A and B are shown apart, each in its own frame.
Chain A
């Protein structure tokens, strides 16, 4: 049994599609926000896969570094969205 870049891309594609589905399908906007980390995670999986299987020459860990930045960005965007939506008991 082995895994390669194609399998990684399948997982990444599934994750991005599920994230878009969550963001589009959810009626509640704060629930739709949870699709953002999924989309970013899909992109990060693809980048880490490229760094693992296909990166040659130059900074070969660029995909991993970008994946770290994507994870932090996802958390920041969720925090901003939840903060803008406000607390439930305020009205």
Chain B
């Protein structure tokens, strides 16, 4: 990876982690949605500088959609039934996991290989997804269909009960 790509990777990583922290810490829905959009932008940048242009485009679209959903003012708040102690334990567990993963990344001995794909690799990715891994793609498509149909059904049921 040359210097230009490395700088782009680090800048995108900073944007990504800043957006992620905003999602975790900002109070308002609109602010959280905007932070998720910023995180999606950073994620797309990271993918782009890792020679995954097609994945960058898809991630940008999906995270923009998720950001709009999170920022929407129409849904109601659902309080978590877990006590503050459990939530604090979860936060401490997240910190412990971060330390563990960072230690593993730092101490790990990883194989290295030359990358032969292009900046986007759409054709190779299409062959992979629709020939080699077609079943996985169909499973995710089914998940998307069930999610959207379930969300619509739940939404309409609430509307009807009003």
A57 to chain B, nearest CB (A): 8
A27 to B, closest residue via Cβ: B80
Which bracket fits the contact residues of B? 35 or more
Secondary structure type dominating chain A contacts: helix
Task: Flag if A29 contacts B52 (CB, 8 Å).
Answer: no
The one of A21, A24, A44 in contact with B43, judged by C-beta atoms closer than 8 angstroms, is A44
Task: Flag if B70 contacts A34 (CB, 8 Å).
Answer: yes
Given contacts A52-B115, A68-B125, A82-B69, contact A91 B76 (CB under 8 A): yes
The distance in angstroms between the C-alpha atoms of A31 and B80, with both chains bound, is 10
- Chain A residues within an 8 Å CB radius of B6: 1-3
Number of interface residues of A (CB under 8 A): 78
The distance in angstroms between the C-alpha atoms of A77 and B5, with both chains bound, is 32
B120 to A, closest residue via Cβ: A64
A7-64 residues with Cβ-Cβ distance < 8 A to B are: 7-35, 37-38, 41, 44-45, 48-49, 51-56, 59-62, 64
The one of B3, B63, B140, B147 in contact with A2, judged by C-beta atoms closer than 8 angstroms, is B3
Task: Please encode chain B, from 26 to 55, with 1 for each CB lying within 8 Å of some chain A CB and 0 for all others.
Answer: 000100100010011001001100111011
- Chain A residues within an 8 Å CB radius of B152: 83
Task: Please encode chain B, from 131 to 149, with 1 for each CB lying within 8 Å of some chain A CB and 0 for all others.
Answer: 0110011001001101110
Interface residues of chain B, those whose CB is within 8 Å of chain A, are 1-3, 5-7, 9-10, 13, 16-17, 20-21, 23-24, 29, 32, 36, 39-40, 43, 46-47, 50-52, 54-55, 58-59, 62-63, 65-66, 69-70, 72-80, 87, 89-91, 93-95, 97-98, 101-102, 104-106, 108, 110-113, 115-117, 121, 124-125, 128-129, 132-133, 136-137, 140, 143-144, 146-148, 150-155, 158-159, 161-162
Closest A-B pairs by Cβ, 5 of them: A83-B151, A24-B90, A13-B101, A9-B105, A17-B98
Interface residues of chain A, those whose CB is within 8 Å of chain B, are 1-35, 37-38, 41, 44-45, 48-49, 51-56, 59-62, 64-69, 71-80, 82-91
